[in-house]
Amino acid sequence: MTRIIQISDTHLVGEGNFVSKTLETAAPLEDLIGRISEIQLEVGAIDAIIISGDISDDGSVESYARFKSILSPLNLPFFAVPGNHDVRSSFRAAFSSAGYLPDSNKLNWHQIVGEVHIIGLDTLIEGQGGGELDSKTLQFLETTLENLNNAPVILMFHHPPFKSGINFMDSIGLHTGQSRLSEILKLYFGELIVVCGHIHRNIVTRLAGHTVISAPSTCSSFLYNVHRNAPVGFLKQAGGLILHDWSQSFKSIRIEAQRGAGPFAF
Ligand SMILES: [Fe+2]
């Protein structure tokens, strides 16, 4: 049994600052860390936290320090990939002491947690909203998977490898590497889930025979409005987290930010 919690798109900024002058992002993350402590009492020990990008909103050194400080009470290992709001150099500097990030180039990595292999890929194109899986990143994925003997895998990167239907987000989606990604995944016959962030919504779909799951954001969401003239912007809505539970197969449970009152007797 291996239990991994995925959080996404925390969009932290420096103390006293707000995202787009209106959204406070540290408080919902602090609340969620409290929930993770409760969850451990309800489901058992958590093995690791994974973060599918946009840890920072502004790429500041302070925002990454704040993230680490907020997560520290959990005392759990955490592994992250960058999103389009992250800055690769600040990200690397903030997390390099954990020992899983390469010293140079893209932030692609492979870790083993319990019975599960976690592969993180870097889709960030600095200065752009959209993302890419470049040829070296895809080569890293292919080589890593070839050596795993069909063991269980969580493959994580920020930009979803599917169209969400939310037009303004799809316009800054995964621009390159999708077809090669599908070819590589088609040849993996073990249990594998692809997990991502970016669209601040929990959507489940399929790709090349595997399940793909986008995680909600800890601080905001986008209206699921598929019209071309849909309003562009975010909702103040803490989306909670996803618990990925491995035991012979994957089970992924969305856990809300608010626990809710009760339970009440029937
Ligand atoms: Fe985001």
Query: Tell me: the pLDDT tens digits for 146-174?
Result: 999 999 999 999 999 999 999 999 999 99
Distance 9 CA to ligand 1 centre (A): 4
Overall CATH class of domain 2-255: alpha beta
Structure tokens given for 104: 């140079």
Q: Are 8 and 195 in contact (CB under 8 A)?
A: no
- pTM, two decimals, is 0.98
Distance 75 CA to ligand 1 centre (A): 25
Mean pLDDT value across the chain: 97
Q: Are 132 and 179 in contact (CB under 8 A)?
A: no
Structure tokens given for 183: 């070819």
Counting every residue written for the chain, the total comes to: 266
What's the confidence (pLDDT) of residue 150? Answer: 96
Q: Are 244 and 3 in contact (CB under 8 A)?
A: yes
Secondary structure in 3-state letters for 55-107: CECCCCHHHHHHHHHHHHHHCCCEEECCCCCCCHHHHHHHHHHHCCCCCCCCC
Distance 148 CA to ligand 1 centre (A): 31
Q: How many CB atoms lie within 10 A of CB 265?
A: 4
Structure tokens given for 207: 């790709």
Distance (Å, rounded) from C-alpha 3 to C-alpha 251?
10
Task: State the amino acid at position 196 in one-letter form.
Answer: C
Confidence of residue 185 (pLDDT cuts 50, 70, 90): very high
Distance 72 CA to ligand 1 centre (A): 22
Distance 151 CA to ligand 1 centre (A): 30
Each domain of the chain, given as residue ranges in start order, spans: 2-255
**CA-based end-to-end distance of the chain:** 32
What's the confidence (pLDDT) of residue 240? Answer: 98
Distance 197 CA to ligand 1 centre (A): 7
Distance 198 CA to ligand 1 centre (A): 5
